Amino acid sequence: MPFLGFLPNMSVRDAADREIKYGQGKANRSGTTDYNWMDKVGGFLGGYDQAGVEKEIKRRLDAELMDKVGGQITTNQAALGGYLTPEFKGIDGKTNKEVEAELAVDEARGKNLQDVLANADVEDLSELSKSATAGQILGFGGRATRDRNEAKEKATKDEAREIRMLENSINNRRLDIQQSQLTGQQAYENRRLDMQDSRDARNARDKQLMMIIQGLNAFGQGFQ
């Protein structure tokens, strides 16, 4: 039972206040660096011990830190979007500077990821490691942009090649039709000439035959 815990400045909260005020809290907020004999006497009189004071110190300093960085944690989680695993895993056992450093890393990773999603036209992140660094994220985005541009260029070339093939096919078909028409016209002309030759030859024979008949008639009349 505390003897004087009910008096001002004699509670465990008061003891924690003094440790924090005089900078005697550990850097990772897990306790005190200088719990001396006077603190122990005060604890005996106030009904608390070092463990209780350190627990109160941690609660107070953790709460202050979370008030400071809670917004950044939420912002980073949204930016990482479930695609990447946060570097920040909590504040326990870490100094404030270590926590802030981890959050700064996640902030850079989240920013780069959002830039990649917005500018690199990336839909599939399966090839991006969930623990990728900020630099690796930018590298992934650069490769994605390059691959996209190469794919577009290839698609454009393929389309142009298909158009050329179609045009060549149409031109070849047109030439085939023209050649077929010329061949048909030539065949018709050849048949016409052949028929004309036949008529001319027949007319010549008929003319020669008439001349022979006329000559025979004239010869027969000479004997009458």
Q: Which string of b and e fits 139-170 if b means at least 16 CB within 10 Å?
A: ebbeebeeeeeeeeeeeeeeeeeeeeeeeeee
Residue 26 CB: number of other CB atoms within 10 A? Answer: 15
Single-letter code of the amino acid located at 26: K
Tell me, what's the pLDDT at 96?
Answer: 94
| pLDDT score for 111 | 94
Helical pair 96-119 and 134-221, crossing angle rounded to 10 deg: 10
- What is the distance between the alpha carbons of residues 108 and 113, in angstroms, rounded to a whole number? 9
- Give the rounded percent of residues in the chain with a pLDDT score beyond 70: 89
Task: Enumerate residues 6+ apart whose C-beta is below 8 A from 41.
Answer: none
- Which residue numbers in the chain have pLDDT < 50? 1, 5
Q: Is the dihedral of CA 79, 106, 111, 83 positive or negative?
A: negative
User: Which pLDDT does position 3 carry in this prediction?
Assistant: 52
pLDDT, tens digit, 9 for 90 and up, residues 72-86: 999 999 999 888 999
| Strand ranges, E, within the chain | none
Give the per-residue pLDDT at 26: 83
